[in-house]
Structure 1
């Protein structure tokens, strides 16, 4: 695991100058990004599935002690809820969110549609991650496999149009495993104790050609990874972006991903916020230096003011304010209208200068302002001023920071929406520029430059640029002559509007993509579109249909040859069945001019394995008086089979066959097999003679609190403890064993004895005698008190030897928490166990010692 480096503040303060009307100029159209791909897909489909995959490793106890990741998740949810429906007059949009944790395993909550009635519950789930920091591993392979399964099952219930996908991966570590003897679905033949070999297999499982990361990308998953680390994280970057210094993951780079290196805790909320805002179409505004906070007596001090300008081309903005401390307010002054003071406890929506503002607080020092800019109320156009004011007078040296994202109001529209192309023929279409409400706009009215570009990409990834020419009133004309040799039945049309504002700010490109039909020459029959088949879950087949339409030149005939070019490993053969059975010239489907018919398709994999299966059905076309011609119809579908499905089925059969008794026996045997100590050789141990009163624990030799006599150097590895899982072992005077309850639903536990001496632990377990104690099998942060002397008159303190155990990393942080537990639990356990503690033969406490605080057992 990695540690956070020292805080590197994100000093983001916003400025945006007024746009000036300039005619269209050539602006370089940049490459697609993870953000622009998600935004354009969401614009086209109106459905987005966001899976937030959050690290749960133990290192978070020290790297993110205050659970800043929770604030970041809550901010993400609120931004999604606010901007998921961005745009006026657009169809209803839907965002579904799943929060999942990963470490040694993958654990996901349910998919929930984000709306006012569910956001409270989702925020509650996010807050639960503050306590989810106990995993021993950072297992990326298990995490992404779980994410893939969840996305596939989401698609299976989404109808014919699955949602766009965004996978947000947050971690503070690299790919590391410490848990041995664990069955991992990608481990193959590697020994369960050879963790280096398992990690190597996991990386191949993730990044081999056509493996898990490629399958996620090919299913349309945009991966955004946020890494909080001080060590080089090239592997994590390659999961998101494919290529990174010293690392490469997969072959596909479509859709592209994004890696965000986060240097400190304060950057975490900003990084999450910026990633989500950009994925929804926003553009981050470059920032100048931060500002000081005004004193309450000088609210007009220019040193605490920032200004930004909004013009009519924008429709929304999103502002994350880092106030610098509690008690600091923000005075907002619009171009026209009165100043409004916003504080962290402000909740109600309000109208300021014609803009509709919604204010919410993440913490006492973090404020979010979302602004909707209605076209019907132009008072908001112009320069805005914000000032940070210390209303409580308790933060004289505070520095305010902020992060601004703006949402442009221009979008390209294709007319017709999905033009059809034909081999050997030119196809013309128009492109209009409108605002988000659908009204035509001329970009020259309010931007420095605007460029509309278009391209066509075939299923093999070959891209051809389409010439675009400006027309009248902001419209554009485009045309493309499809080569006669084209053999694919579909292509992807992509239209991009790239805008540069008058101040030089390049807005995130607005991209519209359409899958378009490519027909053969008109004499031949046509097979329409690509074939996206429903997912297969667990087992079974997938079915669909192809439509064949006769050409204009006469009668035609069509038959198919299936070929799958990429399938998940160990899937086996793909059995494909056509009805009617059009698989050779003698059984071809015959169609007359303009006649249409359906061919049913059924695909049955030999073995269902998680991943994407894709290939093509090669349709051979014939027409009267023409030579035969081939047309390739892309086909793809997803499969999902959880890695433990075989085991679950086997257990089910055993339960059915064995009736009631067999499950009890199996559970008891499972308890017995799993009841083992986890690597006790990696446990650090310290012991100290102590005196215990009814209220505290002190060092016997110095009468000082344990905090003053124990430190990290006091701990050493356990003597004689094995370095692998074991049923029992001895170390010094302590003998560790186990107890297996007869009832299988009661969990087994570890025991500790000390040669007949009384033993107390935090988990007493209702024992009748104090000759043994109960412990956990991991022994982390455990105390054991071996009783030496008990005052016979119940007035003196109890004397004993206190044994302390911690795991061998982050000992400093764990020692403090363990000592807190000792101070609280040991006196309480002694009081509760007074009737079980008997004086030893060593006799009473000598009279020469100072009289301690009395120990009074309960009646």
Structure 2
């Protein structure tokens, strides 16, 4: 089947999106083994996808751990020695931006980034991602590299802050229609309170000058979070999806841990999904509003959301006419050295490495690669509308022996003219 991009009813179609879902094919000697992506597809992921497809509006609060446990202290090993949260945050923000900047359907994405340690501390105001650039988000992730000195990891104040921010934004933007609500948490799952003379607002009767008092305050906070109708359930009652991104989540409990009897990994999973190990946080059947993912998972999730909204179809070679201003390719890599082959209408093939930022010329335009993480990268081709060199058939495919297999999908904001004269998408989303 050949797909042709063209103008319809006099309206210029501006962008051609090739959203790439993953079907990994990795060479192993003389044979090949195929492995499918392990990105979660149920629970909070499915809820978020279904909501955004319906409402096309998203409010997202991204919470970033600022505690000293990230760099380690005393006899406690660092939980984020390589500052992975910085790259993860950058990838999350970049991926959310891609929802708005690479398609023709009107999508609204509002983002607020906040740190949490001893308190909930916004790093940005609410930022509406636009179609060109969003300077308010530039450098935000890098600013967290040295924000790892807080003596607490206070999830109660963090979730209260996120809940209030989402409620206030919903009220302020109600005229624009109801929005999906998302909370992303980057943390090591270690609920802890340090030694101090002041007290927590949810445990005002408890002194924090000793480990005994700190443990007592944490237990009070745990009830505030996880009791029936507590903070976790309150967020779920507003259909807020929680996506947890864990930083070296530990399976054992440190002897001096303020949170007793619950391993960090179990607490973190329960906070997001309702249950972790044998620990429950709120309604144990509330998993439809949570998931634990990686930053790379998040990229794939958003690509699939976009594909669902734009009614992506499986692509064959593409015939591009002068109405197409750009091609945007979002890729998920099976290996770091993955390459994408771009074949222009003359048959010239360009093998494009996806692991480093680069720019190069193509027939009738310019192309650039922007890596988003070790697994995600974006290739953009901008065409010169003054000429017609780009007109003709283009092919995008994984380079041979690159260790990457892929399925491409076409954004239906273009009119897709099929050989039988019928137009419009006719296949299910890629992925």
TM-score normalised to the size of structure 2? Answer: 0.66
Task: Say whether the 8 Å CA contact 2:274–2:287 is kept in structure 1.
Answer: no
Is 1:78 equivalent to 2:94 in the alignment?
yes
Highest RCO, 1 vs 2 (Cα 8 Å, sep ≥ 6) = 2
Question: What does residue range 789-828 of structure 1 map to in structure 2 within 5 Å?
Answer: none
Task: Say whether the 8 Å CA contact 2:273–2:287 is kept in structure 1.
Answer: no
**Counterpart in the other structure of 1:386:** 399
Task: Say whether the 8 Å CA contact 2:103–2:413 is kept in structure 1.
Answer: yes
- When Rg is computed on C-alpha atoms for both structures, the one with the higher figure is 1
Q: Which 5+ residue runs of structure 2 have no aligned equivalent?
A: 1-21, 27-39, 72-77, 252-262, 319-326, 382-389
| Corresponding residue to 1:145 among 160, 164, 169 | 160
Q: Whose strand proportion is higher, 1 or 2?
A: 1
Is 1:248 equivalent to 2:307 in the alignment?
no
| Corresponding residue to 1:166 among 182, 185, 190 | 182
Q: 1:167 deviation in Å?
A: 0.8
Question: What does residue range 407-426 of structure 1 map to in structure 2 within 5 Å?
Answer: none
**Counterpart in the other structure of 1:134:** 149
Question: What does residue range 833-844 of structure 1 map to in structure 2 within 5 Å?
Answer: none
Task: Say whether the 8 Å CA contact 2:339–2:404 is kept in structure 1.
Answer: no
| Partner Cα distance (1:254, 1:230) in 2 | 21
**Counterpart in the other structure of 1:50:** 60
**Counterpart in the other structure of 1:220:** 239
| Corresponding residue to 1:208 among 204, 227, 235 | 227
Question: Using a 3 Å threshold, how does the CA distance of structure 1 residues 321 and 97 change in structure 2: closer, same or farther?
Answer: same
Q: 1:158 deviation in Å?
A: 0.4
| Partner Cα distance (1:405, 1:71) in 2 | 26
Q: Secondary structure at the match of 1:14?
A: strand
| Partner Cα distance (2:111, 2:429) in 1 | 33
TM-score normalised to the size of structure 1? Answer: 0.35
Task: Say whether the 8 Å CA contact 2:184–2:244 is kept in structure 1.
Answer: yes
| Partner Cα distance (1:351, 1:216) in 2 | 51
Task: Say whether the 8 Å CA contact 1:103–1:138 is kept in structure 2.
Answer: yes
| Corresponding residue to 1:258 among 284, 291, 298 | 291
Question: Using a 3 Å threshold, how does the CA distance of structure 1 residues 235 and 63 change in structure 2: closer, same or farther?
Answer: closer
**Counterpart in the other structure of 2:80:** 64
Question: What does residue range 579-594 of structure 1 map to in structure 2 within 5 Å?
Answer: none
Q: 1:96 deviation in Å?
A: 1.3
**Counterpart in the other structure of 1:513:** none
Q: 1:238 deviation in Å?
A: 1.3
Question: Using a 3 Å threshold, how does the CA distance of structure 1 residues 147 and 404 change in structure 2: closer, same or farther?
Answer: farther
| Corresponding residue to 1:183 among 199, 212, 219 | 199
Question: Using a 3 Å threshold, how does the CA distance of structure 1 residues 35 and 379 change in structure 2: closer, same or farther?
Answer: farther
Is 1:360 equivalent to 2:366 in the alignment?
no
**Counterpart in the other structure of 2:36:** none
| Partner Cα distance (1:33, 1:436) in 2 | 29
**Counterpart in the other structure of 1:156:** 171
| Partner Cα distance (1:225, 1:116) in 2 | 27
**Counterpart in the other structure of 2:9:** none
Question: Using a 3 Å threshold, how does the CA distance of structure 1 residues 181 and 82 change in structure 2: closer, same or farther?
Answer: same
Would you say how many aligned residue pairs link Structure 1 and Structure 2? 348
Q: 1:65 deviation in Å?
A: 3.8
Q: Secondary structure at the match of 1:250?
A: coil
**Counterpart in the other structure of 2:121:** 107
Q: Whose helix proportion is higher, 1 or 2?
A: 2
Question: Using a 3 Å threshold, how does the CA distance of structure 1 residues 129 and 312 change in structure 2: closer, same or farther?
Answer: same
Q: Secondary structure at the match of 2:221?
A: helix
| Partner Cα distance (2:182, 2:142) in 1 | 21
Q: Which 5+ residue runs of structure 1 have no aligned equivalent?
A: 1-11, 17-29, 261-267, 284-308, 389-399, 410-434, 448-498, 502-506, 508-859
Question: What does residue range 738-749 of structure 1 map to in structure 2 within 5 Å?
Answer: none
Question: Using a 3 Å threshold, how does the CA distance of structure 1 residues 203 and 367 change in structure 2: closer, same or farther?
Answer: closer
Q: 1:379 deviation in Å?
A: 3.4
Q: Deviations over 1:243-301 (max 9, x none)?
A: 232111212627521113xxxxxxx6534534544555579xxxxxxxxxxxxxxxxxx
Task: Say whether the 8 Å CA contact 2:193–2:218 is kept in structure 1.
Answer: yes
